[in-house]
Amino acid sequence: MIGDRPFVNCPNLILYCRKAQLSEGFASNFGGKELVYLDGSPPQAAAAPVVLPADTIVFSSPEMHKIVCAELGLAPDTVLTKTQCDSITSLQVCGNAVGRKFNAYINDGRIVRIVPVAGSGEQMATVTRGSLDSLADLPLLRNLSTLIIPYQSIFDLTPLANSKIEKLDLSVNMLDDLAPLASMRFLKDLTINHSQQNSLAPLNRSRALSRLNFSGICQSQFDELCAAENGSLTLLLVSSSDKLCNIDRIGNLINLDSLFIGDTNVTDITPALSLKYLRRFGIRNLQIPDLDVIRSFEHLTALSTDKKQEEKIAALYGGTFPFKAY
C-alpha cells in the first residue's frame, strides 16, 4: 500500500476475495486491475472494455434516440454515430407507433389512426399518444428537412428555432409558444391539426411559410391569423373546423391560391372573392344559400364539393361541371 491506495504499485493485480474481508473504502481506492468477489458466485472472466466509435452521438431523450434508431432500421439500444445521424433527412412517428411506417394518418381530433404503407400487409391501426416530450436533440440531426411527429407530448418548440426544417407536422400536440417557428427561415409547410397553442400571431412573422394546415381551428384563431396582411401563405386548409363560422378577414392573405374551408359552419364565401390568385377552392358540405356565387370566381380551376353541390353548380353551367373535381 502506498498512502491510502492498496496495491497501487500492482496495476495488473486481480484480487479474489469476499466483501466482508475488505475494510471500508478498500474497493474504491483499490490500485490493482480488478476486484473479483467470491460471495456465492464463481469468479467470472473480466468483461472486455466497450470501445465506442469516435463520433458517437449521445441523445438526452431516450425516446428520441429510439425514434432515430427506428428510422435507421436499427435496434432501439444501438449506439448512434454522427455519420448515421447526418444521413437522416426525414423523421416521422405517429403517436406511440415507433418504427411503424405509415403512408398517412387520420385525425378527427378525437382518434388518431395510421394508414399503412401499401403492400406492407398491415392494417389501419388506432394509436395512443406518444412519449416524445422534448425536441432538445434536434440539433444532432443536422440535415433534417422533414419532421412529422403528430400525437406526441411536445410542449416547448424552442429547439426548432433557426433549424433547417422545411416541412413540419405537430398535429395533436399541446404546444406552448409558436414564436420559435417564426425564426425557421426554411419552413414552408406547417401542419398543426387539432393542436393547442396560445396564439397564431407568430406565424404572421414567418416569411417562408407558404402552406398551413389547421383543421380544428376556431373563429378567434382564424381571425388572429388573418389580422394582418400576409403575403407568404399560398395554401390554407382549415377544413373540418366546426367552430369556424366566417372568413370575413380572408382578404389579408393576399397571395392565397388554394383555400379549403369544407366541413365548417361557414355559409358566406363572398369574402374569398377578394383573393385575386385563388385557383383551388374547397367548399364541401357548406350550407351556402345560393351557389350562383361560384360564377363570380372567374379564375377557379378546381373545386372540392359534395355531390349535391356539384350537381347544382353543373346546372349553372349548362349541365357540365366546369372545374377539376377532387
Query: The domain that contains 99 carries what CATH number?
Result: 3.80.10.10
Backbone angles phi, psi at 140, to 5 degrees: -75, -20
User: Domain boundary residue among 176, 206, 236?
Assistant: 206
Predicted TM-score (pTM) of the model is 0.83
65 sits in which H/E element: helix 62-71
Grid coordinates given for 64: 428520441
Backbone angles phi, psi at 222, to 5 degrees: -60, -45
Identify which of 95, 30, 325, 113 has the alpha carbon closest to the alpha carbon of residue 103.
Answer: 113
Are residues 65 and 189 part of one domain? Answer: yes
Q: How many domains does the chain have?
A: 3
Are residues 135 and 101 part of one domain? Answer: yes
Are residues 286 and 256 part of one domain? Answer: yes
Instruction: Give 22's pLDDT tier (boundaries 50, 70, 90).
Output: confident
Are residues 260 and 189 part of one domain? Answer: no
Are residues 277 and 179 part of one domain? Answer: no
User: Domain boundary residue among 181, 206, 231?
Assistant: 206
Backbone angles phi, psi at 121, to 5 degrees: 80, 0
Are residues 147 and 95 part of one domain? Answer: yes
| CB 101 within 8 Å of CB 117 | yes
DSSP state of 2: B
β pairing state of 34-37 and 56-57: unpaired
Contacts of 15 (CB under 8 A, 6+ apart): 7, 30, 32, 34, 35, 36
| CB 274 within 8 Å of CB 253 | no
Are residues 274 and 252 part of one domain? Answer: yes
More confident residue, 8 or 163: 163
Q: Is the pLDDT of residue 14 over 80?
A: no
Grid coordinates given for 264: 365548417
pLDDT in tens, 86-113: 999 999 999 999 999 898 999 887 899 9
Are residues 138 and 26 part of one domain? Answer: no
Can you give the residue range of the structural domain that contains 42? 1-51
The number of angstroms, rounded, from the C-alpha of 218 to the middle of its chain's C-alpha atoms is: 21
Grid coordinates given for 113: 389512426
